[in-house]
Chains A and B, each alone.
Chain A
Amino acid sequence: MVDKQIVDIIESSGIDIVLSLPCNMLSGIMDEIDRCKIKHVSVCREEEGVGIAAGVLLAGKRPMLLMQNSGLGNCVNALMSLTSLYEMPLLIMMSHRGGEGEKISAQMPMGEAAPLILDSMKIDHISIAGINELEGLKTDIDYAFENNEILAVFLKRGLWHETD
């Protein structure tokens, strides 16, 4: 249910192409994307997605990057010296690993660092932990594209547990 709701918001925000790398938490969203009109392209590394997104944007369309928060570390330079430098808007949606309920210890350090990395990159980020918090998302996405800004959205584990 929540996966469909999120993809409906993405679709109504005019996203044309999603570039993705998988995460367990995102499998439902990825399936929903494949069921809608949005083009979905798998990439081999997150940074590659940042590059493709730039090309999509230069063609006058709206790109989105979908990945695990660990992927943020793989695209820091591209987000700065491409997306941000040329003032290209981009929606980044990330599953936020680490924190309470995380079973894989390797996810802890980057889970904690990811928001701080975005702070130092001066990239706006929001965190969504419950279905009621999806309400303002479309407005935030529209704002980012209208103002040539990057918007990073962390999807927290609780978002799915709520519906269990």
Chain B
Amino acid sequence: MKRIDILNEVSKCDGLIVCNIGFPSRELYFLNDRPENFYMLGSMGLASSIGLGLAMSREEMVFVVDGDGSILMNLGTLSTLANNKTDNLCLVIVDNGSYGSTGGQKTYTSGKTDLEMIARGAGNSEVVRAKNKEDLSAALSKCMKKSVIIIAEAEPGNESVPIIDLEPVEIKNRFMGR
């Protein structure tokens, strides 16, 4: 899968989306911009944390699009997620084995590191690996009933999409319904 295919599947779901910094947010903005999307413009690593804060405080389903490089930067989050169980958080980790927004440098998931095992070891029981669109769409439909972590395997690379021409405060205000 390409990352944009993953984003396309996620954006078909009914719920809030927290999207990772850089190309993931740019691609989602290009693909399906809507007020329920929160685009991260900085703070690499914190997508899943923002999603957890939302899921703990709201009823709606919360989808987080994270990345392998980002999750490696904030591995503690997987323990925090496991120990603060919510039933409305779906964490999709796009695993393309690379730092996509900075030139495609390799991450350790392209080497020996297995995010699925780390997520399970942190105490998360619902961890699914999605190798293709069928896997992903099946995993996402499971999400509507309970919290799941999906490791979505993707090819490295970015789409040629424009930057997000929204002010940060505008992203926040429309997300909050103001």
Interfacial residues, chain A to chain B (CB-CB below 8 A): 16-17, 39, 41-45, 47-61, 63, 77-78, 80-82, 85-88
Instruction: Return chain A residues, CB-CB under 8 Å to B43.
Output: 50-51, 54, 77-78, 81-82
Output the nearest chain A residue to B16 by Cβ-Cβ distance: A58
Instruction: Return chain A residues, CB-CB under 8 Å to B98.
Output: none
- What 1/0 flags go to B32-56 for Cβ under 8 Å of A? 0000001011110111111111111
B18, CB-defined interface residue at 8 Å? yes
Chain A nearest CB from B100 CB (Å) reads: 18
Is B53 a contact partner of A59 (Cβ separation < 8 A)?
yes
B102, CB-defined interface residue at 8 Å? no
B160, CB-defined interface residue at 8 Å? no
B84, CB-defined interface residue at 8 Å? yes
Instruction: Return chain B residues, CB-CB under 8 Å to A43.
Output: 49, 76, 80
Instruction: Return chain A residues, CB-CB under 8 Å to B172.
Output: 58, 86-88
Interfacial residues, chain B to chain A (CB-CB below 8 A): 18, 38, 40-43, 45-58, 74, 76-77, 79-80, 83-84, 168-169, 171-172, 175-176
Output the nearest chain A residue to B74 by Cβ-Cβ distance: A48
> Which of A41, A51, A55, A77 has the most C-beta atoms of chain B within 10 angstroms of its own C-beta?
A55
**Can you list 12 contacts pairing A with B, beta carbon distance less than 8 Å?**
A45-B76, A47-B45, A48-B74, A49-B49, A51-B49, A51-B53, A52-B56, A54-B43, A54-B49, A55-B51, A58-B175, A78-B43
Contact among B45, B49, B74, B76 for A55, CB-based, below 8 A: B49
Contact among A17, A51, A60 for B50, CB-based, below 8 A: A51
Instruction: Return chain A residues, CB-CB under 8 Å to B18.
Output: 55
Is A54 a contact partner of B53 (Cβ separation < 8 A)?
yes
Is A52 a contact partner of B38 (Cβ separation < 8 A)?
no
Contact among A52, A82, A85 for B52, CB-based, below 8 A: A52
A43 to B171, CA, bound (A): 26
